[in-house]
Amino acid sequence: MAAVARLKVRKPGTGRIIGDKFVGRAIRIYIPLIILLVVTLFPFYWMAVTSFKSASELFDFSVSPLWVRQPTLEWYTHLFTQTNFPRWALNTAVVATVSTLISLFCSVLAGYSLARLRYRGADSIGWGIFVTYLVPPTLLFLPLTFVIRELHLFNNLWALILTYPTFLIPFCTWMLMGFFKGIPRELEEAALVDGATRIQAMVRIAIPLALPGILAAALFAFTLSWNEFLYALIFMNDSLVKTIPVGVTQELIHGDEFFWGELMAAALLGSVPVAVLYSFFVDYFVAGMTAGAVKG
Amino acid sequence: MGTAVRTNAAPAWHRRRVRIYDREAPLGYLLLVPTLLVLGIFLLYPFLFGIWLSLTDSELGNLGNFIGLGNYRFEWSNTDGVFYTAVVNTFLYTGITTVFKLSLGLIMALLLNQAFPFRRFVRAALLLPYIIPTVLSYEAWRWMFDPTFSVVNWLLVNTHLAAYPGPNWLGVPFNAMAALMIVNVWRGTPFYAIAFLAGMQVIPLDLYEAARVDGATRWQQFTNITLPMLRPVLLVVLLLSTILTFADFQGPFVLTNGAPYNSTQLLSIWAYQWGIPGGAISLGAAISLVLFPLLTIVVAGVLFLLRRPE
């Protein structure tokens, strides 16, 4: 019995194991995968299809609504000429870029310090930062409105640029600590013995070697800020300072009337930047998402 | 202290090493300054301030008087049971979606861990719901659950899974809660899947080989090797996901915003409604702070469930 089993063992890692026939694989792998793919992607498909439908076609379910008969760009033109959408896109890009840069600056330094330098309290500070990652914005937004008011930052993009790092820094620091720990200590020690200062060792050796991690952290921070909703909803009331998520949900709905074509066009356009970023850097994303999970 | 003792006894090369570490403390603290500054002003201070706020009758821009537990008493007894609904819903929402996300994520990860054509593409596609701005994809879902032009219902009716006109998704309490959970599972599952996949890929293959040699079935391999080896990943993922789901705001805000009749009310949404449109910021703070002890219970529960079996 054991000998038979041994004969059937194939090259490991190919996923082909005992009893591997096409029908078996189809039932076990392909059919579930196709179902998962359809369910996962359908909302995006529906978003796209809706955005190209004319007003009359939108509400015509007498024939299959899954296809567009007369594609039109009227919603897109309307979005760019009649709404502040281009401005929201600009705001979102500015806020996401600047808050990402600030968060990276802080968390590269903090991550290096916590992962590499030895001093009293480093461990507890590291845990403290991890715990702040577990404090959701839902707990903070109401008192934060007071802080933002004191700083006179309502309707000012700085309100977002300064508050987004509260959830970006803990995440990025935690992620970068993992990457810094993965760099062999000897590389830096050799430089130190050769007379380099600690700061030189950090800037010339550790940070360049951690670049993949920094890139992963940057992608994550950018995506998280691009998607942020709660703070932007509360701190930005003037139409010209809104971000895409807030502008789309608050201004493209007029009372009880939903302009679904326009809404879906905006949703699609608002998703494109992160989708493109993501498709280019999928592996960095995955590395970033799992850095904490696997190493933690 | 300990360092000094070691320095005296250490040989010359080691002393140099120790001296280098001695100099690390000032730099170590210095590098933390920007982070601690930002987190101190915009996270720690608001958190503590929020606790004080919940004990006052403040409104925005107007620090009120200390009223002790008045806000908590009000939310507990003067809100026609909405507090109770919100707490129960928050737990149901977190518990039920977590079970589904966990099991579907595990299935997704097992599938993605197989060899098949276009694997990279499929993996990227399955991760999309997690990447795309939540608010925007939830708008698409709201349109899919439209009371009269729901494409979900069109599909259900045309495949004879439901009688015309199909369920009223967002207008009926039970359905609305189900819709909230369905979309949350849709969005959250990929995170579990990718984390599990990463966890599976670091499991040494010889474990499986040894098991196969010993005649273990695929199911036995899964329960005796894969699951135990995934426990560390499971712990981190469950912790992050339960906390984020517990405090979830943006998705439910877009999809139902507590409607119909507060039946899908969650603590996060309710805190917002009182605090910002309602203007009772201290009451809102008191509601959101209720999340904190509950969150602690949930976290303790997760840690207890995943404790190392002795």
- DSSP for A215-228, please give it: HHHHHHHHHHHHH-
Extended beta strands in B129-285, E state: none
Q: Could you tell me if A3 lies within 8 Å of chain B, comparing CB atoms?
A: no
Domains of chain B: 2-53 (no CATH), 81-305 (1.10.3720.10)
Query: Does ipTM come in above 0.95?
Result: no
CB contact under 8 A, A136 and B247: yes
The residue among A51, A72, A93 that closes a domain is A72
- Report, as an integer, the average pLDDT of B272-283: 89
Give the lowest-confidence range in A108-117, A196-205, B70-79, B246-255.
Answer: B70-79
pLDDT at position B6 is 44
Residue A22 lies in a domain: yes
Residues A41 and A172 in one domain: no
Residues A32 and A139 in one domain: no
Residues A66 and A187 in one domain: no
**Taking a C-beta distance cutoff of 8 angstroms, is the pair A110, A173 a contact?**
yes
Residues A241 and A287 in one domain: yes
Share of chain B above pLDDT 70, in %: 92
Looking at per-residue pLDDT, the higher value among B20 and B282 belongs to B282
Residues A255 and A276 in one domain: yes
Cα(A75)–Cα(B268) distance, rounded to whole angstroms? 33
Residue A251 lies in a domain: yes
Residue A281 lies in a domain: yes
Residues of chain A with pLDDT under 50: 1-13, 17-18, 294-296
The residue among A72, A87, A105 that closes a domain is A72
pLDDT(B1) > 90: no
CB contact under 8 A, B42 and A163: yes
Residues A214 and A141 in one domain: yes
Helix (H) or strand (E) run with residue A258 in it: strand A257-258
pLDDT in tens, B148-174: 888 999 999 988 888 888 889 998 999
**Taking a C-beta distance cutoff of 8 angstroms, is the pair A183, A209 a contact?**
yes
Residues A53 and A121 in one domain: no
Number of domains in chain A: 2
Count, in order, helices (H) and strands (E) of chain A.
18, 2
Looking at per-residue pLDDT, the higher value among A185 and B306 belongs to A185
Residue B292 binned pLDDT confidence (cut-offs 50, 70, 90): confident
Residue A163 lies in a domain: yes
- Residue pairs spanning A and B at CB distance below 8 A: 308
Cα(B97)–Cα(B107) distance, rounded to whole angstroms? 15
Other beta carbons less than 10 A from residue A145's beta carbon: 23
CATH number of the domain enclosing A112:
1.10.3720.10
pLDDT at position B3 is 42
- Report, as an integer, the average pLDDT of B212-232: 88
Cα(B282)–Cα(B271) distance, rounded to whole angstroms? 10
pLDDT at position B129 is 93
pLDDT at position A290 is 65
**Containing domain of residue A37, as a range?**
18-72
Residues A51 and A103 in one domain: no
Cα(B170)–Cα(B184) distance, rounded to whole angstroms? 15
- Considering only CB atoms, B24 lies closest to which of A198, A245, A289, namely A198
Q: Could you tell me if B308 lies within 8 Å of chain A, comparing CB atoms?
A: no
Q: If you measure CA to CA, which chain A residue comes closest to B109?
A: A33
Task: Output the CA angle A33-A36-A41, nearest 5 degrees.
Answer: 120
Residues A178 and A278 in one domain: yes
- B contact test, residue of A20, A50, A142 with most B CBs within 10 A: A142
CB contact under 8 A, A245 and B21: no
Residue A108 lies in a domain: yes
CB contact under 8 A, B49 and A143: yes
Other beta carbons less than 10 A from residue B241's beta carbon: 21
Cα(A167)–Cα(B286) distance, rounded to whole angstroms? 22
Radius of gyration from C-alpha coordinates of chain A: 25
State the pTM of this model: 0.87
Q: If you measure CA to CA, which chain B residue comes closest to A40?
A: B126
pLDDT in tens, B37-68: 999 999 999 999 999 989 988 877 778 788 88
Looking at per-residue pLDDT, the higher value among B207 and A285 belongs to B207
Other beta carbons less than 10 A from residue B162's beta carbon: 14
Cα(A219)–Cα(A196) distance, rounded to whole angstroms? 32
pLDDT at position A218 is 92
Residues A144 and A254 in one domain: yes
- Considering only CB atoms, B42 lies closest to which of A43, A144, A226, namely A144
Residue A214 lies in a domain: yes
The residue among A39, A57, A72 that closes a domain is A72
**Tokens linked to A183:** 């760099």
The burial class, CB within 10 Å (0-12 / 13-18 / 19+), for B203 is: middle
Most confident option among A156-165, A196-205, B123-132, B270-279: A156-165
Name the nearest CA neighbour of A281 among A209, A221, A206, A203.
A221
Residues A119 and A42 in one domain: no
Residue A4 lies in a domain: no
Residues A67 and A113 in one domain: no
Residue A10 lies in a domain: no
pLDDT at position A254 is 72
